[in-house]
Amino acid sequence: MVGASLMEGAPALWGLFLSAFISSTLAPGGSEAVLALLVGQGAHDPAVLIGVATVGNTLGALTTWGLGWWTGLKFPADSPADPRRHRAVLAVRRWGVPLLLLSWLPIVGDGFCFAAGWLRLPFWSSLLAMGLGKLVRYGLIAGALLI
C-alpha cells in the first residue's frame, strides 16, 4: 500500500526519525534496521522513508557538531585527552568538510561530526556534507532492498 496517508503511518515515521536521530548522536542506534523493516513492509513510499531517515540522522549529526562547538568554548581543540577524539581531530584537520560525507560511518562518524564542530568548520558546508553522505547511505540501503 504505497501511498498510505502520513497520518496513518505517522507512528512508524516518527519511530524511524527518532531511531535515525539517536543513531547519529553519541548514542548507539539501529536506524538502518528500522529503515529496512519499513521498506520491506511496503506501506510507505521509499522516498519518504529515505527522507525521514536522512533528516533525523542529519539533525543528530548536527547535534553532535553543536556539542563539539560548545566543547570548544571551554576546551581548546589543540590537545584532546581522548585518543579517539585526537584521531578524529587530526583527520578532520587534514580533510576538512569533505570528510563529513563519511559521517554515517559507525563509531568514527560521530567523532568526525564532533571534531568538525570543535574545530569550527563552516556550519552550512558541514550540514550539507553530513546530509548528503547520509542521504546516499539510506538511498543505497533502500535501493538494495527494492531490487
Q: Model-level pTM?
A: 0.85
Kindly give, in sequence order, each residue whose CB lies less than 8 Å from that of residue 14, ignoring residues fewer than 6 positions away.
Answer: none
The grid coordinates listed for 52 are 525521514
Q: What is the C-alpha to C-alpha distance for residues 49 and 56, in angstroms, rounded to an integer?
A: 11
pLDDT score recorded for residue 2: 46
Q: What is the C-alpha to C-alpha distance for residues 33 and 63, in angstroms, rounded to an integer?
A: 22
3-class DSSP assignment, residue 105 = coil
pLDDT score recorded for residue 119: 92
pLDDT score recorded for residue 136: 96
Q: Which helix (H) or strand (E) holds 75?
A: none
Which letter, b or e, does each residue of 81-118 get, where b requires 16 or more Cβ atoms within 10 Å of its Cβ? eeeebeebbebbeeebbebbbbbbeeebbbbbbbbbbb
pLDDT tens track, the chain, 147 positions? 444 454 567 899 999 999 999 988 867 778 999 999 999 998 899 999 999 999 999 999 999 999 999 998 988 776 666 676 677 778 888 899 999 999 998 888 888 999 999 999 999 999 999 999 999 999 999 999 888
